[in-house]
Structure 1
Amino acid sequence: MTDRPVRIGVQLAPQHATYAQLRDTVAAIEDLGVDIAFNWDHFYPLSGDSEGLHFECWTMLAAWAEQTSRIQIGALVTCNSYRNPDLLADMARTVDHISAHGGDTGRLILGIGSGWFERDYDAYGYTFGTPGLRLDALSEALPRIKSRWDRLNPAPTRSIPVLIGGGGEKKTLRIVAQYADTWHSFSDVETLERKLGVLQEWCDRVGRDMSEIEISTGVKRTHDGTIGSLEPVEAQYELGARLFTLGISGLDLDLRQARELVAWRDRMNAA
């Protein structure tokens, strides 16, 4: 069990909406008191019309960094394959400084994963390869990113937290044990319990205290826009999850469920 506070994220899918709609939704998410606004790193919609409206991840994060003042921001998750790791480190450092608004501390979370959406790779000229090769590339990229942060001038505003997404037990969770501040998956309760056991084994192997890693999970949307039963969320909480992220899309920008999750967070953190 962990004494970390509960945090709520909202992943705003940058699809099927104008940028003005996405900008206004980010403002509403921040006003709700949500802890983190995420987007995603793809080039085409993942649901609905496959040729529908869609915007790029990192240029959007830079705009969010300037637009917002309190909420943390990041991708859920950046695809490691799409950018040179040293360039990505510089991009993250720059967005982190933008988000500091002249203060001491930025608000960027570097969410990163190995990539999986083959259409992105094919359309933009990246080599898709195999899951194993993409995970090997992620493992090689993370120390390069951290090394580049140490050499940039100016340096990042603080140690930029790294969120790693994915649940592969042979490679991904080893990488999480080595490099992640937060581990995110979309696991159900039973799967999360098993994978936490595997993550503990990897932490033991690499000499990492697993309590240093925040456990993050996705929250399923309901058809009516409300939470419905909190039992799955509370069961994941009992397993140690502390960051709960709801996905919304340009197809449906209803924030009722996010509002309920924020209220639940406040109850849990006040207990």
Structure 2
Amino acid sequence: MRFGIKTRPEHTSWQQMLDVWLAADELEIFESAWNWDHFYPLSGDLAGPNLEGWTMLAALAQATHRIRIGCQVTGMIYRHPAVLANMAATVDIISGGRLELGLGAGWNQQECDAYGIELPPLKQRFDLFDEGVEAIVRLLSEPVTTLDGRYVRLTEARCEPKPVQRPHPPITIGGRGPKRTLRAAARWAQQWHGFVESPEGWRELDGALRAHCADLGRDHTEIIRSTNVVVPPEPDISEVVEQVAAHAGLGIDLVVLNLPHRAEPELVGKLADAVAPLA
């Protein structure tokens, strides 16, 4: 089992998040660090502060030197895919080739209503997502891209300079929709990030991913399976370890420890020591 951390940029400060990422960067057991792509907090005071994820990633790419970095996950509805492709290439270059490109269809009605961002019905949203992922992959890997989609249209489009990682940074697709999300993961992703509500539910989703891979002629073992384990405020470390260990028999490759708000760097060190026997 492998490990990462996630810091939610809500109800916290830039300095607090930076300190935690710098601490994780020094601990080899943590292979990746993640934030999220929201503009409003998702818990507590919904009118409270929330730092923007991708500008933060660029700064964290410069501040760290080893740990892989990513957004878990980027909402396709928030940015044109060509703009996002250029952002991803730039952050991958800044980080020296450490970007994990997290992508999802998007879902937050409150943010969309507040900012006047269209949140299409589910089918259209996933049609847009499929076209968007294809556009991003092609822009990052091909010299020139033309795409005549219903939602995404590119005409001899370029994305230069290209990212360090070729053909493109690894793609993480997040979500648990068995029909559209997992089929997109089977087609494009190097990592699928899901949620464990129950062992049976996880196995069903994993089975759906395998079925989509078989249908597309892809080896399902090429796709990393990952999930989050929430670390509560003032956690009982032994309980966190028990929850992590419970995932061991589900075929999960990467567990991301979702840290509490305003976590201190010392907590990162304690968690690293605690989960080391499971690595």
Same fold at TM > 0.5 = yes
Q: Is the contact between residue 23 and residue 268 of structure 2 (CA under 8 Å) also seen in structure 1? A: no
Q: Which residue identity does 2:119 align to in structure 1?
A: F
Aligned to 1:31: 26
Higher mean C-alpha displacement, 10-19 vs 89-98: 10-19
Task: Kindly state the Cα deviation for residue 222 of structure 1 after the two structures are TM-superposed.
Answer: 4.1
Task: Kindly state the Cα deviation for residue 196 of structure 1 after the two structures are TM-superposed.
Answer: 0.7
Gapped runs of 5+ residues in structure 2?
Answer: 144-158
Q: Is the contact between residue 233 and residue 260 of structure 2 (CA under 8 Å) also seen in structure 1? A: no
Q: How many residues align?
A: 258
User: Does residue 7 in structure 1 map to residue 16 in structure 2?
Assistant: no
- Does the residue aligned with 1:241 lie in a helix, a strand or coil? coil
Aligned to 2:177: 168
- Does the residue aligned with 1:44 lie in a helix, a strand or coil? coil
Q: Is the contact between residue 232 and residue 259 of structure 2 (CA under 8 Å) also seen in structure 1? A: no
Task: Kindly state the Cα deviation for residue 153 of structure 1 after the two structures are TM-superposed.
Answer: 3.0
Task: Kindly state the Cα deviation for residue 44 of structure 1 after the two structures are TM-superposed.
Answer: 0.6
The C-alpha deviation readout for 1:106-162, integer Å capped at 9, x for no partner, is: 100000101111111112221112222212211111110011112333221113000
Q: Which residue identity does 1:160 align to in structure 2?
A: P
1:159-198 to 2 correspondences below 5 Å: 159-188=168-197, 189-198=199-208
Q: Which residue identity does 2:105 align to in structure 1?
A: S
The C-alpha deviation readout for 1:54-83, integer Å capped at 9, x for no partner, is: 111110000001010011101001001111
Q: Return the alpha-carbon distance in structure 2 between the equivalents of residues 144 and 32 of structure 1.
A: 35
Aligned to 2:36: 40
1:1-271 to 2 correspondences below 5 Å: 6-33=1-28, 34-100=30-96, 106-149=97-140, 150-151=142-143, 152-158=159-165, 159-188=168-197, 189-222=199-232, 224-225=234-235, 226-228=237-239, 230-250=241-261, 252-254=262-264, 258-259=268-269, 261-263=271-273, 266-269=276-279
User: Under a length normalisation based on structure 2, what TM-score does the superposition of the two structures give?
Assistant: 0.86
- Does the residue aligned with 2:272 lie in a helix, a strand or coil? helix
- Does the residue aligned with 1:110 lie in a helix, a strand or coil? strand
The C-alpha deviation readout for 1:22-53, integer Å capped at 9, x for no partner, is: 22222122233321110100001111111111
Task: Kindly state the Cα deviation for residue 249 of structure 1 after the two structures are TM-superposed.
Answer: 4.0
Give the RMSD, CA atoms, in angstroms.
1.9
Q: Is the contact between residue 164 and residue 184 of structure 1 (CA under 8 Å) also seen in structure 2? A: yes
- Does the residue aligned with 1:194 lie in a helix, a strand or coil? helix
Q: Which residue identity does 1:27 align to in structure 2?
A: L
Higher mean C-alpha displacement, 253-262 vs 83-92: 253-262
Identity of aligned residues (%): 39
